[in-house]
Amino acid sequence: MNVFDYVIVGAGSAGCVLANRLSADPANRVLLVEAGGTHKKFLLTMPLGFMRALRDPRYTWPYMSEPEPHLDGRCIPIPRGRVLGGSSSINGMFYMRGHSSDYDQWRQMGCEGWSFAEVLPYFKRMETSWRGAGPWHGDRGPLHVAPVDTKRLLHDPLMATAAAAGFPVSPDLQAEQEEGFARGELTIDPKGRRSSTARAYLEPALGRPNLTVVTGAITERVVLKAGRATGIVYRAEGRTHEIQAEREVILCGGSYNSPQLLMLSGIGPADELARHDIAVVHDLPGVGKNLSEHPRVPVHFTLQRPVSFLNELRFDKVALGVARWALTGKGPFASQVNSCNIVLRTRPELDRPDIQLWSNPVRMDAQIWFPGVRARQRDAITADVILLHPFSRGQLTLRSANPGDPPAVLLNNFSDPADLRTAIDGIRLARRIYRTQPQAALTGEELLPGQDLQSDEELVGHIRRSAQVTQHPVGTCTMGHGPMAVVDPQLRVHGITGLRVVDASVMPTVPGGNTNAPTIMIAEKACDMILGLPALAPEDPRVSGTSARRAA
C-alpha cells in the first residue's frame, strides 16, 4: 500500500509519539519512515550503555560541525540518533523540562498555546513519574521517569555542600523550586530499561494493522503540488518509493534533518536552494536559521581517594554488573553516572538559572580496567559548565542536493560575548562549590581548566580550546509569526498546506534543561492539533499558593 492518511518522517523522540497517538484511531492509516533500524539492542536497552551508544555509528548519524570560528576552528561532534526512538534511544536519559518561564517566553514571542500553563498538562500526560500524580506530575503516561540511583555516585557530599556554599537544595526541579542542587531524574522503566519513545510509545502500537513502520529508509523529498504536501519519496534497499499522504506529511527528523529535508524539497532560503540547483517551491528564509545549542565547558578535578565510578569498571565487576542488570534490572548499570543535578544563576539579578553543572563521578574517557591487563586510570570527576540560555545562534544549510550527505552545521557557539561572560562566571562558581567542604575533602587537583588559569583572558582561551555541546540542538524550523518563522503555533509550515514539523527544531528558544522531554511534550500537544481535538485545559500550580519558584 502506497496511500496513507498520515506520513511521519523520522521515528525519533517526537515521531514515535505521533505514530502511537495518530494510529490509536483504527480509521487512520499511518506510515512511519525511519533511516535507522531497531532499538532492541543491548547498548540501547541497558541504561549505562549510552556511554558507548552515543559514539556508535551503527545507531547514530556521526555528524560533525563546520570549523567553529569562535572555538579555534575546531569541528565539534554532534551525533544524532539513527534508530527507532532517535536520540531518545542513545541519549543520557536525563528528564528535565526546563524552567517554567521558558514556555511563558515562547508565548510572549507570539507562540499562542505554548505558555507553561498550556504545556504542563502534556508533560503530565506523557509521564509515569516515580513521584506519583499531583499538581506537577502524572502517573499514567507511557514514559517512565525514575530517580538516579545515587549509590556509588558521590551524591551525598555534593548535596551537603549546597547549604555550606549558600545554595538551595531542591526536592524537585520540575516543581516549585526550580533552582538548586537536586537528585537527577531519568527515563528508565521499572525493569531497569531505557524508556525511549520507541519502547514507551512505538512498541505498544506495533500490532495495529493501520500502522506501518519502514526502517532503513532515506527520505529524499516531500512531494509538493500546488502549494500542498501530497506525499514523500524515500529510498530503501536500492529502490525508490513514492508515498501518498491524503491528510498530512509530518516531519520529525530533528533540528538537523527536518530543515535539510525542507530544503531538499524546495522549501527554504531561495538563494541557498539556487546554489544547489534546487527548484524553489516556497522561499522561506528561516529554514535552517536560529540554531541554538547548550554549550558545555569542561571543568575536571582529580579525587584525593579512589572513590570514583572507576571502581565499578573493573572487568570482573563489569561482568557481574551487566549480569545483574540482565537478570534483575538493578545495579550500577541500571542507572546513570550523575552525582547531582545542579542548576544555578551566576548572578542574583537573573530571573532564572543560566547554568547547569554536569556533575559526574567519573572521568569522561573512563575505560574498563583490570590489574595486569589494563591499568586503572587516575580517578577524576567532572563539573562541566552548561549554558542553559545562550545568546549565540548558528545555522545549517545543505552541503549538496544529495539526501545522503549530511547538512553543513555551524553551531557558532560563543559568537555572542555575553555567553563568554556566563561561562567564565560558571567556571568560577564550579570551582567555589568543589572547594567547599565537605566536597573539598574529596576534590584533588584541578585538571581543567587548570588552577593556573585565573584571569578572564586565560579562561576564554580554555573555552575556545575545549568547549563542546550537550547534543540539544533546537530552533532551525522555529515557531512563530515573523519573517524568519518556519511554522505557525499549530506547527504548520508557513505557506504550505498539509505539512507540519513536529520536533525540537520548532522551539523558538532552547529550554533551560535537557531537550528530550520538551520534544516529547511538543509531540503530545501536536497530536491533539493534528486530530482536531481541543487542547487540554491549562494548569498552573505556581498560582495555587506555593510560589517558591526560585532561590532568593
CB distance 439 to 359 below 8 Å: no
Q: How far is CA 421 from the centre of its chain?
A: 24
Enumerate the active-site residues. 472
- For the chain, the 3-state helix, strand and coil shares in percent, each to the nearest 5, are 30, 25, 50
- Tell how strand 267-268 and strand 30-33 pair up: unpaired
Is the dihedral angle over the CA atoms 125, 129, 134, 136 positive or is it negative? negative
DSSP 369: B
Q: Transcribe 91-132 into DSSP letters.
A: S--B-----HHHHHHHHHTT-TT-SHHHHHHHHHHHEEETT-
For the beta carbon of residue 99, count every other beta carbon within 10 angstroms: 26
CA distances from 441 to 168, 304, 433, 452 (A): 21, 8, 12, 21
**Order of strands across the sheet that contains 143-147:** 127-129, 143-147, 185-186
Q: Transcribe 148-194 into DSSP letters.
A: ---TTTTHHHHHHHHHHTT--B-S-TTSS--SEEE--EE-B-TTS-B
Element (H, E) at 351: none
- Between CA 131 and CA 141 the distance in angstroms is 13
How many helical (H) and strand (E) elements, i.e. helices and strands, does the chain have?
A: 13, 24
Element (H, E) at 360: strand 355-360
CA distances from 287 to 231, 268, 396 (A): 20, 5, 8
